[in-house]
């Protein structure tokens, strides 16, 4: 299967046409989970609800199920699990914003800026708890185990990121271990849960799990490129947050590897500086632009490998949309 560049508006339209009813059900579930009689909790929940973006993880769950035409009973569980992966993702965003000391998320204030750090930590924990409770209502112990394992890996990815920063690691191996944990595993389990619940074969489940992991890696690399190359107005998040937190992402790791000794030293000096002007100068460095291009090429490589995972799956509109999403993961502005 070749990589096809999808038109973003057309892709959105096709997703809506195929999944409209399913997405209504998933969002109704999410709205119920976000309701609370306690006014403070309700206010925080409504604020966090504004962080929801493209809902790519629940869409992956729904599309992976659509490949195998689940019966009505299975469809209800697919909806619950799609809501679960979105809640887990939202919980990680709330916690990530504290770790990153971020001010904006989707053009609105982060929870710890709008209220305080305690509220962010506790509300993130609350979302995790609500997600696992909703997963338990499926009566599927294996699905709960898979969700728990993916959440473990996500948290480990964040811890590995902190360790890499403290150790000033410039290792690509460490970088991929971080993004595989913090992003890849939740993408992978989103696809796995949909296919498994809808009755896909073990072989098809494995292909979709790997597809999810690969587009998750591509998605995170693209996100790290956007952090360096786009403005807050475009992304809705703090620009150059990785630089501000002295995190070495793939574009910068590649830039350091590609540079001469002189360029490497200059980059190192700029990277370790806390001066905003120094960080701005770093983005103008030719070698950083080469690092960005190299990282983007790697993201495209993961997309091509992900598309090969789809070749053995039943040909249908859901498979075509999954291919479009894979391409969209690396051709986006936010």
* Residue 199: DSSP 8-state: T
Tokens of 123: 């509300």
Sequence-ordered alpha helix ranges (H) in the chain: 8-34, 39-49, 56-66, 72-99, 111-114, 117-136, 141-166, 172-179, 185-197, 202-229, 232-235, 241-244, 250-258, 261-272, 276-283, 286-309, 317-328
pLDDT of residue 2: 46
Exposure of 324 by Cβ count < 10 A (0-12 exposed, 13-18 middle, 19+ buried)? buried
Q: Given the structure tokens 């997600």, which residue do they identify?
A: 131
Q: What is the pTM of this model?
A: 0.91
Exposure of 203 by Cβ count < 10 A (0-12 exposed, 13-18 middle, 19+ buried)? exposed
Question: Is residue 2 assigned to a domain?
Answer: no
What total of structural domains would you count in the chain? 1
Please state which of the ranges 18-32, 249-263, 304-318 shows the lowest mean pLDDT: 249-263
pLDDT of residue 220: 95
Question: Is residue 217 assigned to a domain?
Answer: yes
pLDDT tens profile 8-62: 889 999 999 999 999 999 999 999 998 889 999 999 999 988 887 789 999 999 9
Question: Is residue 333 assigned to a domain?
Answer: no
Question: Is residue 334 assigned to a domain?
Answer: no
Question: In angstroms, what is the C-alpha Rg of the chain?
Answer: 20
Question: Is residue 175 assigned to a domain?
Answer: yes
pLDDT of residue 277: 66
Is residue 60 within 8 Å of residue 190, measured between CB atoms? yes
Mean of per-residue pLDDT scores for the chain:
88
Q: Roughly what angle, to the nearest 10 degrees, separates helices 8-34 and 317-328?
A: 90
* Domain enclosing residue 179, as ranges: 8-328
Phi-psi map region of 168: left, alpha, beta (phi>0 left; psi -120 to 50 alpha): left
pLDDT tens profile 49-91: 888 778 999 999 999 999 997 666 789 999 999 999 999 999 9
* Residue 70: DSSP 8-state: -
pLDDT beyond 80 at 234: no
* DSSP class per residue in 210-225: HHHHHHHHHHHHHHHH
Question: Is residue 40 assigned to a domain?
Answer: yes
Output the domain CATH number for residue 44: 1.10.600.10
Question: Is residue 210 assigned to a domain?
Answer: yes
3-state secondary structure of 170: coil
């Amino acid at each position: 299967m070749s990589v096809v560049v999808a038109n973003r508006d057309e892709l959105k339209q096709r997703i809506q046409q195929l999944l409209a009813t399913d997405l209504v059900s998933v969002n109704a579930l999410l709205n119920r989970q976000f309701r609370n009689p306690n006014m403070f909790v309700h206010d925080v929940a409504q604020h966090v609800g504004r962080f929801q973006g493209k809902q790519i993880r629940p869409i992956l769950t729904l599309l992976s199920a659509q490949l195998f035409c689940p019966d009505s009973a299975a469809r209800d569980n697919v909806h619950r699990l799609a809501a679960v992966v979105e809640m887990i993702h939202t919980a990680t965003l709330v916690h990530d914003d504290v770790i990153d000391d971020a001010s904006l998320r989707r053009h609105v204030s982060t929870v710890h800026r709008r209220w305080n750090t305690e509220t962010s930590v506790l509300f993130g924990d609350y979302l995790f708890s609500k997600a696992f409770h909703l997963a338990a209502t499926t009566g599927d112990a294996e699905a709960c185990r898979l969700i728990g394992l993916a959440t473990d890996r996500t948290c480990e990815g964040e811890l590995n990121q902190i360790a890499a920063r403290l150790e000033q690691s410039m290792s690509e191996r460490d970088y991929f271990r971080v993004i595989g944990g913090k992003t890849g595993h939740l993408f992978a389990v989103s696809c796995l849960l949909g296919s498994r619940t809808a009755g896909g074969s073990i072989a098809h489940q494995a292909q979709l799990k790997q597809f999810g992991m690969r587009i998750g890696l591509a998605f995170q690399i693209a996100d790290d490129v956007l952090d360096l190359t786009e403005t807050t107005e475009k992304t809705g998040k703090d620009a150059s947050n990785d630089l501000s937190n002295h995190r070495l992402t793939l574009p910068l790791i590649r830039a350091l590897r590609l540079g001469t000794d002189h360029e490497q030293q200059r980059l190192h000096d700029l990277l370790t500086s806390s001066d905003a002007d120094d960080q701005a100068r770093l983005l103008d460095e030719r070698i950083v632009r080469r690092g960005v291009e190299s990282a983007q090429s790697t993201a495209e490589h993961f997309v091509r490998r992900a598309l090969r995972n789809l070749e053995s799956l039943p040909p249908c509109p859901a498979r075509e949309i999954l291919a479009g999403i894979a391409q969209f993961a690396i051709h986006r502005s936010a």
